[in-house]
Amino acid sequence: MLYVPGSNSRAIDKAQELPVDAVILDLEDSVAPDHKLAARTQVEAVLESAEFGHREVVVRVNAMDTPWGKSDLAAVASLPISAVLIPKLESERQLEACRGALHMGGAKDNLPFWIMAETPRGILNLRTILESDQPIAAIVMGTADLAKNMGIPRGSERAGLRSTLEHCVLVARAFGVSALDGVETDLNDPERFESACLEGKQMGFDGKTLIHPNQVATANKVFGVTTEQIAQAIKIVEAWKTAPEDTGVMVVDGDMVEALHYEQALKTLADNREIGKRGKDDE
């Protein structure tokens, strides 16, 4: 999921060509106060005509306690987007206020929220936020803000945030929403970027938020499905399907396989089909 500053028209153009699953048009942290209104107008104009193809488009608005939050929400309410990303969210009540502002702009009740997990209080309250009846589709880690709020020095974010990242994946899974890992700001260290992607994948994150086109290929590789994983999944599915009906456990290539592994293999194949479909409109 690639962030693009709403004020940067060149980057917005470029994002429409990149092999990403989602483009997050940002009106918040990457836009300077003096450019907030122009960025919003530009995002509105872009969404009237741009071609994002298979890419989901999400707009990150400013928080409700800023001078722009309410009118950002009213402005994006009628745009053709997949979700609105709410920053610095700390309570169910704030999310209700966001819903109110969307309503004022004429949004449908079911326009989903993506929510940033980036303040200690917001993370402690994730459970009650997700228990609200608001349509929430994803938790997005705001690792830069979170590290700042927690007092973690720059460069040590992954180590300092480990248990918090794991906690947020747990909450996402408990409520059946997607979990998206935070950004890496160091653009000069591709190895460090790849190991951060791998760490997120191992924790169970569904994908990663990105800030630069150079990060896209690695993220797609790590969060996608490898040919070995596909081959293994096909073996498991074949073995399970051809086994006698009362089979509860079997061995495939020296590995114990139960119904849950069969289900995991089916998911791997379904994910692979979905990723395949997503490339089609660029051909």
What does the binding site for ligand COA look like in residue numbers (CB under 6 A)? 2-5, 10-11, 14-15, 26, 29-30, 183, 211-213
Nearest-5° angle of CA 98, CA 23, CA 60? Answer: 20
| 30: Cβ contacts below 8 Å, ≥ 6 apart | 3, 5, 6, 7
Fill in the amino acid letter for 54: H
Q: On the CB side of 52, how many CA atoms lie within 13 Å of its CA?
A: 22
Q: On the CB side of 100, how many CA atoms lie within 13 Å of its CA?
A: 9
Contact window for Mg ion (CB under 5 A) among 10-18, 23-31, 205-213, 262-270: 23-31
Specify the residue, 50 or 239, whose C-beta has the smaller distance to ligand COA: 50
Nearest-5° angle of CA 85, CA 178, CA 79? Answer: 35
Specify which residues 105 forms β-bridges with: none
Tell me the pairing of strands 255-258 and 249-252.
antiparallel
Distance of CA 215 to the CA centre of its chain: 15
Minimum Å gap between C-beta 72 and ligand COA is: 15
Minimum Å gap between C-beta 95 and ligand COA is: 20
User: What character string, x for contact with Mg ion (CB under 5 A) and - otherwise, covers 27-66?
Assistant: --x-------------------------------------
Spatial CA neighbour of 133 closest among 96, 106, 100: 96
Minimum Å gap between C-beta 116 and ligand COA is: 10
Specify the residue, 50 or 252, whose C-beta has the smaller distance to ligand COA: 50
The binder of Mg ion chosen from 72, 145, 181, 206 (CB under 5 A): 145
**Rounded-to-integer distance, Cα 125 and Cα 121, Å:** 6
Specify the residue, 214 or 264, whose C-beta has the smaller distance to ligand COA: 214
Specify the residue, 143 or 268, whose C-beta has the smaller distance to ligand COA: 143
Partner from ligand COA, Mg ion, none binding residue 215, C-beta < 5-8 Å depending on class: none
Minimum Å gap between C-beta 157 and ligand COA is: 12
Minimum Å gap between C-beta 221 and Mg ion is: 26
**Rounded-to-integer distance, Cα 244 and Cα 220, Å:** 38
Contact window for Mg ion (CB under 5 A) among 93-101, 124-132, 138-146, 274-282: 138-146
Minimum Å gap between C-beta 139 and Mg ion is: 14
Specify the residue, 2 or 61, whose C-beta has the smaller distance to ligand COA: 2
